[in-house]
Amino acid sequence: GDQKATHSENSQGKKSQLAEEAIFYMNCRAAYLTVLKSSLENIKSKEQLSLVLQQAGRNPSQKTINKYWTSQTTSLNFDDFCAILKKEKPATKNELLEAFGKIDTDKTGYILHDELWKLLTTRGDKMTWEEVTSITKQADFNCSGKLDYNKFCELYLTTSEQCCKAARARLQSDPRLRQQHFGNQTGNFSEGVTLPVAKPSPRGSRKTDHKLAKGDSRAPSRPSSAQSSKASTSTTVTVGASSSRSTKLIFEPDTMKEWQCAQSKGCFYLEEDGEIISHKYRLHLAQRSAVCITIKPLNIPQAEGKSCPWLSVDTALFILKENEPQENLQLVSFTELQNEEMFGWRGELGAGVYWLLPFTTGCRLRKVKTQIPAEAKLVWRDEDGELALTKEFQAALLDVFETIDLDGNGLLSLEEYNFFELRTSGEKCDQEAWAVCKENFEMKKNELTRQGFLDLNLMEANDQDGDPWDLWVTLLSLGYNKALEMTEACPFVIAISAERCKPRIKAISLEAGGSQLSRAVCRSVLDQGEAKVLGGSENIFIYTYRSGSRVTSVIENKSEHKVIIHVNNEQSKNCLNNRGLTVFAVEVAPKSTMVSQHVMALNEQEEWIYSCVHSLV
């Protein structure tokens, strides 16, 4: 009886999840097709991206648009759009009211028009005088030279929802568009789940599938697992319990004790949109030498006894040789040996400059909603009314210090401090400002001490008269939550040993891996992975590679046309992937390769099975 009840609950949970996913993609498609003629038509400009996001109930700032449409972007497809909507959640009423509340410090519920004009024309995405006037003239939420921001928020959210409803209504009323809907994904939800769209009969459904499979240009980019496809191939990898924690010996103490060493710390940071950024490094070797390179999560001494979720995050390093011209980087290898949480590579490198690109799959370092029982207190006042940092905040700051002290000498150089500044404020501290720091805070050898770092943060608290807002901005950008737990960052340490020369390693930037890292990951899988031709298609290959604790699959499209590949992991067990979806679709450009997914064990103490079907839509 208990087993039946559990099975029923799991079944209901799965149905609910599928229904939520279906509704999300219905809304995506409805918004997309309001601006574009087909889900296979690409977004061609920033203006189109802004329009289609607005139709989905978002109100993107120019900063948000620029985040997804960079100087290298020429187009975005439907799958890109869905990914953006997953990251850019619509604003809630509470969030809007909280933002206005920061301006309305007296909590009157109103903002003077003069103040509103000053804010909107000088900060953020600056508006013109005419644009602000058009807001203040609206009688629904303005009176006596003031804006009633409660009414404004209500109207804003109502208008946003009306945009979404209008887009859904258009989708439902147009038979041509409705036939494209999820590639007739309703087949997924036959077991008692009702979708808020008209469903064709099973017979009609099969006709539609047949018609699309014959080459209809409106073939969907979000097909279901039940959809018929032209070609497919399946791959299964079974991994025993705990075997992902290899016991291969990376170091050989007896033979390496005379080798010269260097190390540097760094950190993976999770951005709001789910992108992962990290430090990048240059390694210089004066002569050819046997080398051992390792990377592992950093075990911070102060964090002992606390929850340290980053210690389970997978890490890797890709080693690239710098050639002429400088940006021409050639993949040498990557850290595929594993011993517990450490990943390493051993081999021989010639004299020259190498780039070390840290990598994590994103399977374990990802956005997770957690309930915070209470917000930690950062500052307090003593009996004399003097401001002080709480013990909990001081402990967190010492953890931060440990992370940003890249060379591990117990002091912060200007260069190390500037990585911290770039991450938390987007600006750098120049020599003149550093000299001012030297006058006010404890330094040794022109480097900031731990006490100096604590005092610097206390000064910031005093500057804000005890308001912790700016302190929280710093902590959140460094991966902390409101309980002072580091949940969205993973500090790591890189160690290099060389037999014949002293290795020199230097952090050169803090940014996303970008195309260099993507190419390196794909190249490593193509070189060492198992290749399968997608059944029935001689130009599309699926490469699968197991490296230590992860499985990575890469799609290579050798054809002259873009293809849409449907990926189904429903038969996998005890797995999690970097995309957060069991079933999804990817578009692969002609003559290109791309990562399909990274997969890891959900629970390493149990057997896990990677079982994936790639299908050509």
pLDDT of res. 195: 31
More confident residue, 613 or 105: 613
Q: How far apart (Å, rounded) are the C-alpha atoms in residues 303 and 479?
A: 15
For residues 236 and 617, the answer to whether their CB atoms sit within 8 Å is no
Closest CA to 55 of 162, 143, 169, 146: 162
For residues 117 and 129, the answer to whether their CB atoms sit within 8 Å is yes
Q: Per-residue pLDDT averaged across 363-372, rounded?
A: 85
pLDDT of res. 522: 95
Q: Is the pLDDT of residue 349 over 60?
A: yes
For residues 382 and 413, the answer to whether their CB atoms sit within 8 Å is no
Q: Per-residue pLDDT averaged across 283-292, rounded?
A: 96
CA 424 to chain centre: 17
More confident residue, 229 or 610: 610
Lowest-confidence pick of 163-172, 367-376, 493-502, 577-586: 163-172
Question: Per-residue pLDDT tens for 301-328?
Answer: 655 566 788 889 999 999 999 886 656 7
CATH architecture of the domain covering 259-292+307-358+495-523: Sandwich (2.60)
Angle at 209 between CA 206 and CA 211, to 5 degrees: 110
Q: Per-residue pLDDT averaged across 465-472, rounded?
A: 91
Q: Is the pLDDT of residue 200 over 60?
A: no
CA 74 to chain centre: 21
Q: What percent of the chain has pLDDT over 70?
A: 82
Q: How far apart (Å, rounded) are the C-alpha atoms in residues 112 and 110?
A: 7
The CATH code of the domain at 368-487 is: 1.10.238.10
Q: Is the pLDDT of residue 213 over 70?
A: no
Q: How far apart (Å, rounded) are the C-alpha atoms in residues 269 and 395?
A: 20
Distances (CA, A) of 157 to 90, 164, 526: 9, 11, 48
Q: Is the pLDDT of residue 212 over 60?
A: no
Q: Is the pLDDT of residue 503 over 70?
A: yes
Q: How far apart (Å, rounded) are the C-alpha atoms in residues 584 and 86?
A: 13
Lowest-confidence pick of 114-128, 265-279, 282-296: 114-128
Closest CA to 290 of 90, 498, 11, 592: 498
Q: Which residues contact 49 (CB under 8 A, 6 or more apart)?
A: 43, 60, 65, 68, 69, 76
For residues 259 and 475, the answer to whether their CB atoms sit within 8 Å is no
Using DSSP, state whether 538 is helix, strand or coil.
coil
Closest CA to 454 of 409, 393, 408: 393
Question: Would you kindly state where each structural domain of the chain is located, as residue ranges?
Answer: 4-90, 93-173, 232-243+529-616, 259-292+307-358+495-523, 368-487
pLDDT of res. 576: 93
Question: Per-residue pLDDT tens for 418-437?
Answer: 999 999 988 888 999 999 99
pLDDT-based confidence at 130, cuts 50/70/90?
confident
Using DSSP, state whether 243 is helix, strand or coil.
coil
pLDDT of res. 18: 60
Q: In this structure, what DSSP letter does residue 319 have?
A: E
Query: How buried is residue 598: exposed, middle or buried, by Cβ count under 10 Å (0-12/13-18/19+)?
Result: buried
Distances (CA, A) of 133 to 109, 276, 532: 20, 40, 62
Q: Per-residue pLDDT averaged across 360-365, rounded?
A: 94
Structural element, H or E, at residue 147:
strand 146-148
Q: Is the pLDDT of residue 13 over 50?
A: yes
Q: How far apart (Å, rounded) are the C-alpha atoms in residues 524 and 532?
A: 16
CATH superfamily membership of 93-173? EF-hand (1.10.238.10)
Residue reference for tokens 């960079």: 70
CATH topology agreement for domains 232-243+529-616 and 368-487: no
More confident residue, 7 or 211: 7
pLDDT of res. 476: 94
Q: Per-residue pLDDT averaged across 49-77, rounded?
A: 88
Could you tell me if residue 192 is left (phi over 0), alpha (psi between -120 and 50 degrees) or otherwise beta?
left
Say yes or no: domain 4-90 is CATH 3.30.390.
no
pLDDT of res. 215: 32
pLDDT of res. 186: 28
Cis peptide bond prior to 325, omega within 30° of 0: yes
Lowest-confidence pick of 347-356, 446-455, 528-537: 528-537
Lowest-confidence pick of 318-332, 396-410, 478-492: 318-332
Lowest-confidence pick of 2-6, 50-54, 362-366: 2-6
DSSP-assigned letters across all residues of 547-563:
ETTEEEEEEEE-SSS-E
CATH topology of domain 232-243+529-616: Immunoglobulin-like (2.60.40)
Q: How far apart (Å, rounded) are the C-alpha atoms in residues 339 and 318?
A: 17
pLDDT-based confidence at 613, cuts 50/70/90?
very high
More confident residue, 525 or 116: 525
Residue reference for tokens 């993609």: 25
pLDDT-based confidence at 216, cuts 50/70/90?
very low
Q: Which residues contact 412 (CB under 8 A, 6 or more apart)?
A: 401, 404, 405, 420, 447, 448, 453
Q: How far apart (Å, rounded) are the C-alpha atoms in residues 552 and 362?
A: 12
pLDDT of res. 180: 40
Q: Is the pLDDT of residue 4 over 60?
A: no
Kindly report the average pLDDT of the chain as a whole number: 82
Q: What percent of the chain has pLDDT over 90?
A: 45
pLDDT-based confidence at 103, cuts 50/70/90?
confident
Q: Is the pLDDT of residue 222 over 80?
A: no
Q: How far apart (Å, rounded) are the C-alpha atoms in residues 387 and 461?
A: 8
For residues 519 and 592, the answer to whether their CB atoms sit within 8 Å is no
Q: Which amino acid is at 66?
A: N
pLDDT of res. 189: 28
pLDDT of res. 547: 80
